[in-house]
Amino acid sequence: MAFTRIAQIGQKGIEHYREVAEALGKSRPDGLLAVVAGEANNRLHIVEVWESKAKANKFISQNLNPAFQEIGYTTGGYSGESSYTEFESGDLYLRAATEARV
CATH of the domain at 69: 3.30.70.100
* pLDDT for the residue 76: 55
Question: Would 28 be classed as within a structural domain?
Answer: yes
* pLDDT for the residue 72: 85
Question: Would 73 be classed as within a structural domain?
Answer: yes
45/6 Cα distance (integer angstroms): 7
Question: Would 79 be classed as within a structural domain?
Answer: yes
Q: Which residues contact 5 (CB under 8 A, 6 or more apart)?
A: 46, 47, 48, 50, 56, 84, 85, 86
Residues of the chain with pLDDT under 70: 74-80, 97-102
Structural domain harbouring 78: 3-88
Q: What is the pTM of this model?
A: 0.83
Question: Would 100 be classed as within a structural domain?
Answer: no
* pLDDT for the residue 26: 84
Question: Would 8 be classed as within a structural domain?
Answer: yes
Tell me how many domains the chain contains: 1
* pLDDT for the residue 99: 63
Question: Would 77 be classed as within a structural domain?
Answer: yes
The answer to whether the CB of 54 falls within 8 A of the CB of 6 is no
* pLDDT for the residue 77: 53
The percent of residues above 90 in pLDDT, for the chain, comes to 56
Q: What are the phi and psi torsion angles at 2 (to 5°)?
A: -70, 160
* pLDDT for the residue 30: 95
Question: Would 99 be classed as within a structural domain?
Answer: no
Rounded to 5°, the CA angle 88-81-43 comes to 80
* pLDDT for the residue 100: 59
Question: Would 98 be classed as within a structural domain?
Answer: no
The answer to whether the CB of 54 falls within 8 A of the CB of 68 is no
